[in-house]
Amino acid sequence: MKSVTVGNSAWRYVERGQGPAVVLVHGFPLDHRIWSDQIEGLSSQFRVIAPDLKGFGQSHSIEPFTIDSMADELAQFLKAVDAVPCVLAGLSMGGYVGFSLARRYPEFLKGLIIVCSKAESDTPQAKEGRIAMAELARSQGAKPVSDQMLPRMLSASALKTRPELVQRLCGIMESCPPETIANACLAMRGRADRTDDLPRLKVPVQIILGEHDAIIPADMGKKMASACQRGECVLIPDAGHMAGLEAPAAVTAAIARFVDGI
């Protein structure tokens, strides 16, 4: 992995291919490996950059953060690796960071791809769940958090019939540092609602959703896309919240077509 200094810490990232910059931002509690298939598939056409956000994967840090502060650091990272402007694809928590970056640094983006994510903030019930999960991570580590998340991350059929995929995903989730899990739970809990930003986004926006996503309902994707000036929604059949892992070719093809059209 490559490394670049952003503020006071090292951001590690994977970079492959040449052409227009496509930046892939992972979700929670994950790292760049969740994008492995897309890195492989997209790098024949584009310059693909997949960072480990600060605190995740190999970008070690135990500093608390907010979704907005992470977007600020991501903006610095994009400058440091000379990837401005880019098309940014954010998966779930990465989508929250993407929305924040689009609001704070609109000139950094040529297009925004929101993968299995939403503009809305947490409900009061979800906020309570974040505190409980942060405490669980701090007291018992990443494994019980991974166990709790797993049933909502993949479709029921993948959970039943694709043990290698389950193992791959659990391996990534269980390696997330507990302090980062806690910090991320609190950051997601405190994030702003970006629904009103959707009609203000000037760049093309693609919303990708898994048909069986247990975290983001499919009709939410269509609503988000139609609220944007230049929005489209792509529903990935037979896939859950980790659509890019369950249906890698379909997600890669959707991203490639969208970036090509910009």
For ligand MLT, which is the closer residue by CB, 170 or 215? Answer: 215
The residue within the footprint of ligand MLT, chosen from 15, 22, 23, 28 (CB under 6 A), is 28
**Backbone φ, ψ for residue 223 (5° rounding):** -65, -45
CB of 247 to ligand MLT, least distance (A): 16
> How far is Cα 116 from Cα 112, in angstroms, rounded to an integer?
13
- Rg (the chain; Cα; Å): 17
- Asked if 27 touches ligand MLT (CB under 6 A), the answer is yes
- Asked if 180 touches ligand MLT (CB under 6 A), the answer is no
- Asked if 93 touches ligand MLT (CB under 6 A), the answer is yes
For ligand MLT, which is the closer residue by CB, 45 or 175? Answer: 175
CB of 189 to ligand MLT, least distance (A): 9
The residue within the footprint of ligand MLT, chosen from 170, 215, 218, 256 (CB under 6 A), is 215
- Asked if 183 touches ligand MLT (CB under 6 A), the answer is no
90 near 238, Cβ under 8 Å? no
Which one, of 152, 157, 148, lies nearest residue 181 by Cα? 148
The residue within the footprint of ligand MLT, chosen from 43, 59, 61, 92 (CB under 6 A), is 92
- Asked if 97 touches ligand MLT (CB under 6 A), the answer is no
- Asked if 239 touches ligand MLT (CB under 6 A), the answer is no
Which one, of 145, 153, 108, 122, lies nearest residue 245 by Cα? 153
Which one, of 136, 53, 141, lies nearest residue 97 by Cα? 53
238 near 212, Cβ under 8 Å? yes
> How far is Cα 25 from Cα 115, in angstroms, rounded to an integer?
10
Positions that interact with ligand MLT (CB under 6 A): 27-28, 92-93, 188, 215
